[in-house]
Amino acid sequence: METKNSTYLILSIVLLILSIFGGYFLFQNFKNTTKTSYNSTTVPKIELIPTDSPETEQITAIPTIESSSSAKITSLPATSSTTKISPTKIPTKIPTKTITPTKSATSSSTSLKDYSNSADGFSVSYSSFRAFTQDTETSGNRYTFSYFVSKNESYNFAIHVSPSGSWAWTHSNRQFSTGFTVSDQPTFRYDIATQTIVDLQSSDKNYTIQCVHNGKESLKAECEAFLASFKLL
């Protein structure tokens, strides 16, 4: 009886040892599997997007001006053609027609309108074919002189008036010069292919004059006349 009990005891010890070894190998296998699943080749790297260098100049130009919903859209008025018929001396003679050509809206003969605003302290002359609207924006008041060629094509001029210390647009290196003056004041002029932007100051207000010309020479010339006519009151 004692021999039989000893045999059971020995077998129990052997099974216990085998169980310990089996558990150890299972643990090692699980540990290796975990390392393989999350190693550097399977886990993506997280990279931060670098910010711009402080020395990099950032310019935020004024967006192309669009008229407000209350603005009246007026197309460029075309001068109607005048037809002249020569009197017929012989019944078989064909009458001759003389047609007067239509004048361009941007020609030198285009009439001008004057606008003056005592509250914001300026006056300006603008082409009569442009529609005038006044509204507000975040930086202050905006005066828009719209020229609509079609539903999707417009060339607007605008005057943005802001209190001193604020501007309608952002530029990191706004420097005023007497190389180009408006109303006898030094200006900061910024020209790109589609627009001309000019900044000037009075004692208590900042003015930004913006011409959207899209590179058209006739509109560039009109813009120069618009700038020349601007006066501080």
Residue 39, in any domain of the structure: no
pLDDT mean by block of 10 residues, the chain; 233 residues: 68 79 68 48 35 37 44 34 41 42 47 97 97 96 96 94 96 96 98 97 97 96 98 97
Model pLDDT, residue 62: 55
Per-residue pLDDT at 6:
72
Domain that holds residue 209: 110-169+177-233
Q: What is the pLDDT of residue 151?
A: 86
Task: Output the pLDDT for position 123.
Answer: 98
Instruction: Report the distance separating Cα 133 and Cα 218, nearest Å.
Output: 23
The confidence score (pLDDT) of residue 8 equals 73
Quote the CA–CA distance of 134 and 145 in Å, as a whole number. 9
Q: Find the CATH number of the domain harbouring 135.
A: 3.40.1000.10
Amino acid at 49: I
Burial class (CB in 10 A: 0-12, 13-18, 19+), 55: exposed
For Cα atoms 176, 185, 131, give the angle at the middle one, nearest 5 degrees. Answer: 100
Asked whether residue 150 is assigned to any structural domain, the reply reads: yes
Residue 26 resides in a domain: no
